[in-house]
Amino acid sequence: MKKIIVGILVVIALIWSVYASLYLVHESGSQFEPQRVFGIEDESILVIQRPEEMKNSPVYDQFNSHVLMAGISAVNWKNHGAKSIFVSIARPIVVVENKSIWTQNDLNEIQAYFKQNNTLIHRDGKFLIIHQLKHIPRQEDKGFYVKNKDRNASGILFTYDSRLKNWEKTEVYALKDGYFEYRSSNLNLKVGKPINDMELFSAVLPKNIQEYHFFDKFYYQNKDSIFASGLMLDWLDIGFVKAKYRDQTILISDYRAQQLPRLVLLEKSIEDSIQQIGEIASFNGFKLTSFFPSSENKRFYVIELEDKTIFTEDKSLAQDIMLQYNLGETLMLSPAIAQNFFGRLPQFTNERRISPDQNASITIRNNLKVEVVTSPASNNQSFKIADSWTRTLDIEEISHIVAIPDHIRSGFSFFVSGKSGKYVLVNGQNGGIIWSGDLGKKILHRPQVIDLFENDKHQLLLVSDKAIHILDLNGESVNGFPHNSSTTFTSNISAFKWKNSMQFVIGNSKGEILLINNQGQELNVIQLATQPIQKGVFAKNVQGKLRVFGIDNEGFAHLGYLETNVTPQRLGKISADFIEKIGANIKGVGTSEDNIYLWNSDNPSDEKSFAAGKLLAANNTGIFIQKNNLLQLFDWNGKVQFEQTLTFNEVSLPNLIKTTTGKLLIAMDYLTNKIHAIKENGASMEGFPKEGRKLMEVVKDDNKTHIVTTINGALVGYFIHL
Q: What is the mean pLDDT of the chain?
A: 89
Would you call 269 exposed, middle or buried from its count of C-beta atoms within 10 A (0-12, 13-18, 19+)?
middle
Q: pLDDT band at residue 272, thresholds of 50, 70 and 90? A: low
Alpha-carbon distances, residue 462 vs 360, 447, 503, 520 (angstroms): 53, 5, 14, 13
538 band by pLDDT with thresholds 50, 70 and 90: very high
46 closest CA partner among 180, 171, 173, 150: 171
**Residue 545 pLDDT > 80, yes or no?**
yes
Highest mean pLDDT among 152-161, 487-496, 661-670, 699-708: 487-496
| Span 261-289, average pLDDT | 86
Give the residue among 251, 267, 247 at the shortest CA–CA distance from 259. Answer: 267
Distance of CA 569 to the CA centre of its chain: 58
* E strand or H helix at 558: strand 556-561
Please state the rounded mean pLDDT for residues 207-225: 92
3-state secondary structure of 480: coil
Which tops the pLDDT comparison, 144 or 348?
Answer: 348
Residue 714 has pLDDT above 80, yes or no: yes
Q: What is the pLDDT of residues 287-310, one digit of tens each?
A: 999 999 999 889 999 999 999 999
Diameter over CA atoms, the chain: 153
pLDDT at 283 > cutoff 80: yes
**C-alpha closest to that of 389 among 657, 208, 244:** 208
- Radius of gyration from C-alpha coordinates of the chain: 38
Give the confidence band of 342 by pLDDT, cuts at 50, 70, 90: confident
Comparing 249 with 149, the larger pLDDT belongs to 249
d(C-alpha 413, C-alpha 715), whole Å: 13
CA distance 713 to 13: 96
Kindly report the CA angle at 597 between 595 and 598, in degrees rounded to 5? Answer: 170
How many Å apart are CA 128 and CA 71, to the nearest integer?
14
Dihedral sign from CA coordinates of 102, 105, 110, 114: positive
pLDDT at 203 over 50: yes
Q: Which residues, at least 6 apart from 40, have a Cβ–Cβ distance to it below 8 Å?
A: 143, 144, 160, 162
Using 50, 70 and 90 to split pLDDT, how confident is the model at 23?
very low
Q: How many alpha carbons lie under 13 Å from residue 283 in its C-beta half-sphere?
A: 22
Q: How confident is the model at residue 339 (pLDDT cuts 50, 70, 90)?
A: confident
Give residue 4's pLDDT: 58
Angstrom CA distances, 360 to 103, 180, 193, 203, stand at 43, 9, 18, 21
d(CA 321, CA 562): 54
Question: Taking residues 339-349, what's their average pLDDT?
Answer: 81
Question: What is the pLDDT, as a whole number, of residue 529?
Answer: 96
For 610-644, what is each residue's pLDDT tens digit? 999 999 999 999 999 999 999 999 999 999 999 99
Looking at residue 623, its pLDDT comes to 97
Name the β-bridge partners of 704: 721
pLDDT at 188: 63
**How buried is 256 (Cβ within 10 angstroms: 0-12 exposed, 13-18 middle, 19+ buried)?**
exposed
Flag the least confident range among 59-63, 175-179, 498-502, 618-622.
Answer: 175-179
Degrees, nearest 5: CA angle 621-517-457 = 55
- For residue 339, the tally of other CB atoms under 10 A from its CB is 13
Q: What confidence score (pLDDT) does residue 8 get?
A: 56
pLDDT at 271 (0 to 100): 66
Residue 21 has pLDDT above 50, yes or no: no
Asked if 558 and 570 count as a contact pair (C-beta separation under 8 A), the reply is yes
User: Per-residue pLDDT for 15 more than 70?
Assistant: no
The pLDDT value given to residue 336: 80
pLDDT, greater one: 356 or 444: 444
Which of 413, 242, 202, 204 is closest to 320 using CA atoms? 204
Task: Give pLDDT, residue 466.
Answer: 96
Q: What is the pLDDT of residue 424?
A: 97
pLDDT tens digit string along 24-41? 444 456 889 998 899 889
pLDDT in tens, 94-136: 999 999 999 999 999 999 999 888 899 999 999 999 999 988 8
Question: CB within 8 A of 7, min separation 6: which ones?
Answer: none
Separation of first and last alpha carbons in the chain: 101
Strand order in the sheet with 608-612: 578-582, 585-592, 595-600, 608-612
pLDDT at 141: 57
Kindly tell me if the per-residue pLDDT of 20 is higher than 80: no
Say which range, 23-32, 150-159, 209-218, has the weakest mean pLDDT: 23-32
Q: What is the pLDDT of residue 84?
A: 94
